[in-house]
Structure 1
Amino acid sequence: MKFSRIVLPIFLCIHISCQRNEYKETDINKEIVLCFNHYNPKPYKTPGLGFFHIDMPKISYINDLGNFVSHTPKIDFDTLVLSCPKEYKEIALSYLNFEYIYYSIKQGDTIIISMDSLDYPLLKSKHYPKYNHIYNINHKLRKGRTHSGLEAKTCLGSDWVWIAQNIDFAQAQNIEGWIKDYCPLDSLHNMFNDYRKAYIDTVNFLKQQRFITNEIYNRCNYLLQLKVHESQRMLNKDSTYYHKMEQEILDEYTCYPSYYEFLDYYLWFFNYHVKGIIESQSSYYDWRQTFDELSAKPFQPKSMQILLQRCINEIGENFSAEDLNTYLNKYVKITGDSILYSKFVEQYNLSADANQLLLKDIQGNIINFQQLLKKHKGKVIYIDFWASWCVPCRKEMEPASELRKQYEGKDAVFVYLAYNDTENSWEKAVQEEKLSTIATNYFILNSKNCKMLEDINLRLIPRYIIIDKNGKLVEMNAPRPSDKRIKATLNKYL
């Protein structure tokens, strides 16, 4: 490891020293051009338990309006032209749906973005070849300092810590998935510390040799600190840790996508503090209290808006329509941002009749639940509440397909209702699960604002209910398709 830390600066010196003078073009194009060359990272799961994250944006950046924007390149070739009024513009590329890698791209540059054999991003400059070494620093430094293909800091900030803490139990019970994903905590710490040392040495060398500006040097140190915060998440039990981060919550950083990840880590530590205050035994945070405590802090307006937007998103997903309306009104009063209010009213159909469950099929036709029941009166209706993001829901789709085949020609109807989902994600999942040809496949338009869903206390999915031939709800928690009891239950009502 020591050898790699020495060789890298020398390697850089050999290849860059002949071009040490900075370019001094007078009419630099104030844009950057990103050319994606077969940049299509594949879905990734860990070797053992198959850990994976919800899809992360393939590329993110801050647009001219100061908004965080995500983009998914076309599979073969794609080009993205971004304004770059300053000397550099930061972009974020995702890796394996686990990590963001941040790049400061020089104004006027055109970058070819491809992947190595492990799907890690590789950048190649068209106009400033000497910057290739700087753009790809992280690609070089992470080699030999990873576990399951991921940086040690990523593992330290995720479920690998839990596995390491319970490995004796896993070995005693011969739980193969845990054992395959296992890495000792001291090994993860050593890998990260070695990476951090090599990173600091390399960045300091680049600064001393004037290969990077003060601005890029400071950004490099900021990004390293971001990795440190992530590495602290799972093991840190200091409920005041968020205080250490508050001095870095400044609106001048809102032009960087990495700042949004920084705020996510801040909220992680802040919610640990909130959870301690409310003495909750639940793994879920009370984002309403998070919102109230944050809104009392003296943060600058843009940063405050970003933090409160995150709270509103979580309240929308996990709390009632009444709570969402309450906190949307608070949000507008604090930030003056009525756009988010309108977005959520539309997303959750908060203005719709709460007595109706509104459904939309794959062709865009809209009906309500009572019309659905009337249409299939005289048949037993088995309803599957699911979502594209719900892994247990998706695992039941194959058994559900088999169950449908076994009841073909019988007085049974299988209905699929996407709950608390987004239409784009639902449409994609419908194709993947081969539900597009099923007429009784619907997207719930008012998941948040419907009395019926409150009446059946729909909070967790997958959830299955059965309506009998007379239109009466007879099973509030029916067996799932993979359950051996499901056939007997259906046959009883048939």
Structure 2
Amino acid sequence: MIKCAPILTFKSEIIGEYLVPIMKIETDTLVLNTKSEHLLIYYRYNPISELYFLAKKGDTIRINEKQNTPFFTVSNRKVKKYDINYDFWKKARYGSVYDYSTEDYYINKELCYITRGRLWQTEKETIVKKLIQELRDEDMWLDSLYHNHLVSEYEYGIYNARNKYKLLTFEAEFKDASTLKNYLEEYNDSIYRNDSMGFYSNFYWYCLGTYMDLMTNQSFDFRQLFDSLDHIDIDLGELALRGKLVYLDQIVNNYSVEVAQKYYNRFVKENHDTVLVSSLSRKYRNLFDEDINNSEDIELIDYSGKRLNFGNILEKHKGKIIYVDFWASWCAPCLAEMSASKKLREKYADKNIAFVYLAINDKEDAWRKAIPVAGLNDVEDNYFILNNKTSKVLEELNIRSIPRYLIYNKGKLIQQNAPRPSDKQINNVFLK
């Protein structure tokens, strides 16, 4: 399945600054507000391929096309040939197969097959070797560009760091546990904390994840992975902390409330960072709430944090048709339907129809960030489900996959598998 990924995403120099990704370009002018002096822009120009562009604060950029590939032009300042369009020239240098690069095939072999009807015939190890060869050549090429003043110092530093850690990652692909441990022993906490672009941290996160897989025989038991982090005889500081937080989150989302509470309490007891503990307390504040866990209804919060339940929603719209959309921030098909859903809301704005959006099996922070991406900023009935694991109502509705749509009429469920917003049949349903 081809992912409904954003067309434009942005990486800021400022750690923690979040810029909303662009799912669909609906205007010829886009203005970004950022405190960062530079932005790394990821442009996905087909279902598989993306290029990186480096922009500077204040830039006015025009996006054109050359050789079926985006090409950025800056009108407000002089730039060197390879400053912004480095990836364009890189693609031209190393060529492509059916218009896709070696890395495209490495990451998306199945997608290449679906979109082109052709299968990349080489084995994974062969592709990795080809990538390593390209990256080593790129290292020398980039140095040559810099020494010949064809790329500026800042841009050279970014592209060089990206290439360095990408190369290290591919070289580590087939390494044994001993080699990966050697990599991890060179980890530096200070560099990790200040790695705004994420190249260094992504490499070491890859090393830790691969090392943990080898040490636990590729266990998918997040409790075992969490426990194993206590027995690594390397000082991994923030990296190990990140690992524990990721595994804790998986435990919270995939195990019983009792197991989740056990590991949460253990983490809090072991950790003396009061700011972090306070943040986790807020994040999981509803997880261990007895009123929520003992409720048979679907317990909800809105964007402002107000608590209510699904029964309140049905009562609020008593006498109306209610079109319920179960979605999540991580669900690409859900997000793909949001544009059609908006058109439905506009079309039936003066009718007796309420549109209700319920985020299921999601994370609250991710849900909040996804609201503008989904175009739900101005939707009043937009809620986050608090008791995915314990709600009897949810259990009875049997929500096995999303997106999922329900229709209520005068408080009664009349369609348990209603048509999607993009399905023309939904109009017939509403008219009936």
Alpha-carbon distance between aligned partners in 1 of 2:96 and 2:257, rounded to the nearest angstrom: 40
Alpha-carbon distance between aligned partners in 2 of 1:53 and 1:444, rounded to the nearest angstrom: 22
1:58 maps to: 11
1:331 maps to: 267
Alpha-carbon distance between aligned partners in 2 of 1:359 and 1:304, rounded to the nearest angstrom: 33
1:482 maps to: 422
1:70 maps to: 17
One-letter amino acid of the structure 1 residue matched with residue 369 of structure 2: S
- The alpha carbon displacement at 1:155 in A equals 6.0
The secondary structure found in structure 2 opposite 1:226 is helix
> Is residue 245 of structure 2 the alignment partner of residue 309 of structure 1?
yes
2:391 maps to: 451
- Cα contact 2:327–2:403 (8 A) shared by 1: yes
One-letter amino acid of the structure 2 residue matched with residue 383 of structure 1: V
- Scaled by the length of structure 2, the TM-score of the pair is 0.63
- Cα contact 2:298–2:394 (8 A) shared by 1: no
TM-align CA RMSD:
5.4
The secondary structure found in structure 1 opposite 2:287 is coil
Superposed, which structure 2 residues align to 1:338-349 within 5 Å?
338-348=274-284, 349=286
1:31 maps to: none
Runs of 5+ unmatched residues, structure 1 = 1-48, 62-67, 82-90, 104-110, 125-131, 179-183, 207-211, 279-284
1:425 maps to: 369
Alpha-carbon distance between aligned partners in 2 of 1:404 and 1:137, rounded to the nearest angstrom: 46
Which of residues 222, 225, 241 in structure 2 aligns to 1:290?
A: 225
- Cα contact 2:302–2:383 (8 A) shared by 1: yes
1:197 maps to: 140
2:123 maps to: none
- Cα contact 2:7–2:43 (8 A) shared by 1: no
- The alpha carbon displacement at 1:54 in A equals 9.0
1:45 maps to: none
- The alpha carbon displacement at 1:329 in A equals 2.4
The secondary structure found in structure 2 opposite 1:69 is coil
Which of residues 167, 183, 187 in structure 2 aligns to 1:228?
A: 167
2:184 maps to: 246
- The alpha carbon displacement at 1:344 in A equals 3.5
- Cα contact 2:12–2:18 (8 A) shared by 1: yes
The secondary structure found in structure 1 opposite 2:268 is helix
Alpha-carbon distance between aligned partners in 2 of 1:447 and 1:120, rounded to the nearest angstrom: 47
Q: Taking every aligned residue pair, what percent have the same amino acid on both sides? A: 24
One-letter amino acid of the structure 2 residue matched with residue 387 of structure 1: A
Superposed, which structure 2 residues align to 1:143-182 within 5 Å?
144-146=89-91, 160-161=105-106, 163-164=108-109, 171=116, 173=117
How big is each residue's C-alpha offset from its partner over 1:338-393, in whole Å with a ceiling of 9 and x where there is no partner?
43343244235235422254444567765322211223345553311123553311
Question: Which of 364-373 and 141-150 deviates more?
Answer: 141-150
Alpha-carbon distance between aligned partners in 2 of 1:92 and 1:266, rounded to the nearest angstrom: 26
One-letter amino acid of the structure 2 residue matched with residue 444 of structure 1: F
Alpha-carbon distance between aligned partners in 2 of 1:99 and 1:333, rounded to the nearest angstrom: 44
Superposed, which structure 2 residues align to 1:45-444 within 5 Å?
52=5, 58-61=11-14, 68-70=15-17, 72=19, 75=31, 93-96=40-43, 114=59, 142=87, 144-146=89-91, 160-161=105-106, 163-164=108-109, 171=116, 173=117, 191-199=134-142, 224-231=163-170, 236=173, 240=177, 242-243=180-181, 245-257=183-195, 258=198, 259-270=200-211, 273=214, 277-278=218-219, 286-300=221-235, 301-315=237-251, 321-348=257-284, 349-352=286-289, 353-354=291-292, 355=295, 357-361=298-302, 366-401=307-342, 413-419=354-360, 420=362, 421-422=364-365, 424-429=368-373, 432=375, 436=378, 438-439=379-380, 441-444=381-384
Equivalent pairs, count: 383
The secondary structure found in structure 2 opposite 1:310 is helix
The secondary structure found in structure 1 opposite 2:13 is strand
Alpha-carbon distance between aligned partners in 1 of 2:249 and 2:423, rounded to the nearest angstrom: 34
- Scaled by the length of structure 1, the TM-score of the pair is 0.57
- The alpha carbon displacement at 1:462 in A equals 1.5
Runs of 5+ unmatched residues, structure 2 = 21-29, 45-49, 64-70, 121-125
Alpha-carbon distance between aligned partners in 2 of 1:141 and 1:414, rounded to the nearest angstrom: 45
1:10 maps to: none
- Cα contact 1:290–1:311 (8 A) shared by 2: yes
Alpha-carbon distance between aligned partners in 2 of 1:168 and 1:101, rounded to the nearest angstrom: 27
- The alpha carbon displacement at 1:228 in A equals 1.0
Alpha-carbon distance between aligned partners in 1 of 2:185 and 2:52, rounded to the nearest angstrom: 23
**Cα distance 1:199–1:344, how it changes in 2: closer, same or farther (>3 A)?**
same
Alpha-carbon distance between aligned partners in 1 of 2:278 and 2:188, rounded to the nearest angstrom: 27
- The alpha carbon displacement at 1:291 in A equals 2.4
Task: Decide which structure has the larger Cα Rg and report it.
Answer: 1
Alpha-carbon distance between aligned partners in 2 of 1:169 and 1:270, rounded to the nearest angstrom: 32
How big is each residue's C-alpha offset from its partner over 1:42-86, in whole Å with a ceiling of 9 and x where there is no partner?
xxxxxxx6874597553134xxxxxx53355994776569xxxxx
Alpha-carbon distance between aligned partners in 2 of 1:78 and 1:407, rounded to the nearest angstrom: 37
Alpha-carbon distance between aligned partners in 1 of 2:186 and 2:422, rounded to the nearest angstrom: 50
Alpha-carbon distance between aligned partners in 2 of 1:338 and 1:276, rounded to the nearest angstrom: 34
One-letter amino acid of the structure 1 residue matched with residue 271 of structure 2: T
- Cα contact 1:92–1:100 (8 A) shared by 2: no
How big is each residue's C-alpha offset from its partner over 1:208-229, in whole Å with a ceiling of 9 and x where there is no partner?
xxxx9xxxx9999865431214
- Cα contact 1:384–1:417 (8 A) shared by 2: yes
